[in-house]
Amino acid sequence: MTLFGKLYNWVELRLGISQVIEKEMTGYLLPRTINSWYSLGSVLLFAFALQVVSGILLLIYYVPDADKAFKSVSVIMNEIPFGWLIRLSHAVGSNLMVAALFLHMFSVLFMGSYKKPRELQWVSGFTLLNLVMGISLTGYLLPWSQLSFWATTVATNSVGAVPVIGEFLVEFIRGGKLVGPPTLGRFFAIHVALLPLVIAGLIAAHLFFLKRTGISTPPTSDTATAPQLGNSYRYEKHEGGIPFFPNFFLHDMSSVAIYVACLLGVVYFSPYLFFTPDSFVPANPFQTPAHIKPEWYFLANYQILKIFPSEIIGLTVQGGAMTIIALLPFVDRGDKRYPLKRPLFMACAIGGIALFLALSIWGHLS
């Protein structure tokens, strides 16, 4: 017996690994009609892991001090071997992860898989989307460039529109009246410690809900409905389905390979796609750049704040829309899942996405 075989036997005798593999991998059956949209969840798991690993590597040389942060990022980009690859993978990866999150959300929207019994999966997922956007926002400040400084000034300013406690909140977030070194300290702690832990915990909860409800069957015919819930808990089984391992696992891996190809494609061929000229200039609190824009996925929010006469109306509209989306499974309670059998919902969803795109383009051009 080979050394590996002996080692496997030793562990097997103690932990019964083959039983776990049988239950969770080869014996974990998925619907026969499962499609590629279902592999976006695995792409997101991979994307998050990549952000954590590249982030830890960046921490070796990054210095969270307002006088040294910009210089330390230049050193990573220009002097540390492969520092550019790690830094660009992290920055580009954050954008691609948000794009993958939107796609995952739209796919569960159109397939109606947020409906009962998967309400908790939707709510945990939507919270994850917001936290990932929050971790990107806090990361934006860390290079301490003109873009970092002024984009954070604009973003934190809008919190000031909250009635009564607005001013207190802005000062609390910034650690002072203006964005400055205390803001960097706060955002650094939130970005590298608090949010990664909370996101990892919430991903675990999201996967736990998935394990308990079972994965949904894609709505491939117009009779597809969300299951009726009885008086007791029921797992959605897929007798005669395809095994997760190796069948769907290989499918997941091809989707991950496409994600990596897109990431490296941007890093090699258009490394500064998500950067603007202000990201190459150190922060200067005394010089406001002419055009400061948030990242592409915040452009719609930014434009909403601009079109309403007062910021508080803009914030209320956004808060209302976010609450409806967060509670969608409780608002849209019909049990039909086939898209063409839900014309009203589809019209609202497509209209909502078109509005989001239009506001983002308007925000970009204005």
| Binding site residues, ligand HEM, CB under 6 A | 38, 40-42, 44-45, 48, 101, 104-105, 108, 113-114, 118, 121-122, 125-126, 128-129, 132, 203, 206, 210, 215-216
Q: Which residues pair with 225 in a beta bridge?
A: 336
Alpha-carbon torsion, ordered 228, 233, 235, 236, to 10 deg: 0
- Nearer to ligand HEM among residue 30 and residue 66 (C-beta): 30
- Nearer to ligand HEM among residue 135 and residue 292 (C-beta): 135
- Nearer to ligand HEM among residue 145 and residue 216 (C-beta): 216
Query: Residue 352 Cβ, how far from ligand HEM at the closest point, in Å?
Result: 13
Query: Residue 62 Cβ, how far from ligand HEM at the closest point, in Å?
Result: 23
Residue type present at position 326: A
Query: Residue 349 Cβ, how far from ligand HEM at the closest point, in Å?
Result: 12
Q: Find the length of the chain.
A: 366
- Nearer to ligand HEM among residue 26 and residue 42 (C-beta): 42
- Nearer to ligand HEM among residue 105 and residue 292 (C-beta): 105
- How far, in Å, CA of 106 to CA of 124, rounded? 15
Query: Residue 40 Cβ, how far from ligand HEM at the closest point, in Å?
Result: 5
- Nearer to ligand HEM among residue 26 and residue 74 (C-beta): 26
Looking only at the bridges linking them, the beta strands covering 242-243 and 29-30 are: antiparallel
Quick check: helix, strand or coil at residue 329?
helix
Read off the tokens for 227: 């299951």
Read off the tokens for 106: 């739209």
Query: Where would I find the beta strands (DSSP E) of the chain?
Result: 29-30, 242-243
Query: Residue 333 Cβ, how far from ligand HEM at the closest point, in Å?
Result: 15
- Nearer to ligand HEM among residue 39 and residue 148 (C-beta): 39
**Which residue in 136, 137, 134, 138 sits closest to 64, CA to CA?**
138
Query: Residue 162 Cβ, how far from ligand HEM at the closest point, in Å?
Result: 25
The gap from C-alpha 270 to its chain's centroid, in whole angstroms, comes to 22
Query: Residue 199 Cβ, how far from ligand HEM at the closest point, in Å?
Result: 7
| C-beta contacts of 252-258 below 8 A and 24+ residues apart | 252/39, 252/42, 252/43, 254/39, 255/36, 255/39, 255/40, 255/42, 255/43, 256/39, 256/42, 256/43, 256/46
- Nearer to ligand HEM among residue 221 and residue 284 (C-beta): 221
- Nearer to ligand HEM among residue 90 and residue 206 (C-beta): 206
CB 231 within 8 A of CB 16: no
Read off the tokens for 140: 């934006």
Query: Residue 49 Cβ, how far from ligand HEM at the closest point, in Å?
Result: 9
SS3 assignment for 85-103: HHHHHHHHHHHHHHHHHHH
The span from the first CA to the last CA of the chain, in angstroms, equals 70
- How far, in Å, CA of 118 to CA of 114, rounded? 5
Query: Residue 202 Cβ, how far from ligand HEM at the closest point, in Å?
Result: 8
Quick check: helix, strand or coil at residue 30?
strand
Read off the tokens for 272: 């500064």
